[in-house]
Amino acid sequence: MLPVPARLTGGPWAFFLDVDGTLLDIADAPDLVHVDAPLLNLLDSIKRVSGGAVALVSGRSIDDLDRLFQPLKLSAAGLHGAERRDAQGRLHLRPADARLQRVREALQAWAVARPGTLVEDKGGAVALHYRLAPGEEVAARELVERVAAGLGGDYVVQEGKLVTEVRPAGVSKATAIRQFMTEQPFTGLRPVFVGDDVTDEDGFMAVRDLHGLAVVVGARRQTHATHCLADVRAVQAWLGDWLTRVVNGEMQ
């Protein structure tokens, strides 16, 4: 069992935060989650006192993150690192790929005949959810593997919690975090990355390489994280504790 992370001391810290399962409880469908005012205020305050050194690092698209967290706009990496917005607001995007339309059509045709499955079109990636139809896991994974293979080496399959998707190859949450860490206001800081899924493992390895703190949410048998928080509420409380101590002048 991994230890619970102690109060954040030292630093100064750069915060990299996954969204679903980390800042927000996972819902039955991606569009059913809601960001409440206390979480918005917490993130806005962390952004302010950290000098802007906080970024969302998610499988969602940046457009979707902006919709969820409006009016707050943070630095962000979307689609598991395939797109990124730096602290100056510059977007780093991959060109649109018309071949993904065939993937969308194949997955949607399959899902229509299987109640409880859902296709999430992320623009530069396509995900197949089977949270409400767990018995379809094997068939869903086989289908996504097959359609991804038809795209050659430009795309890979990304597994997650009751979801499998086709996403661009050559990028990851780790590459996004490493790129942020070369830019202001992140450079020179100590990174902390909090995530909950197998999609976050490369990010955990990256922050460990950078002498940072890797925190997994929920119990997992195998992980590259060094510490564990129980759930979304524990994550928010842990971040809130750091913020309170900074605001009260207890940390330099």
174 phi and psi angles, rounded to 5 deg: -65, -45
Residue 135, domain extent: 100-168
End-of-domain residue from the set 168, 190, 215: 168
pLDDT tens, 179-229?
999 999 999 999 999 999 999 999 999 999 999 999 999 977 789 999 999
Asked if residue 2 is part of any domain, the answer here is no
CA distance 137 to 129: 9
Asked if residue 123 is part of any domain, the answer here is yes
The residues, any chain, with a CB within 8 Å of residue 84's CB and separated by 6 or more, are 62, 76, 77, 78, 91, 92, 176, 179, 180
Query: Does position 78 have pLDDT exceeding 80, yes or no?
Result: yes
Asked if residue 3 is part of any domain, the answer here is no
Helices (H), the chain: 37-49, 62-69, 100-112, 137-149, 173-180, 201-209, 232-247
Co-location of 112 and 90 in the same domain: no
Task: Name the pTM for this structure.
Answer: 0.93
Asked if residue 1 is part of any domain, the answer here is no
Co-location of 41 and 156 in the same domain: no
End-of-domain residue from the set 118, 150, 168: 168
Q: How many domains does the chain have?
A: 2
Asked if residue 88 is part of any domain, the answer here is yes
**Residue numbers annotated as active site:** 18
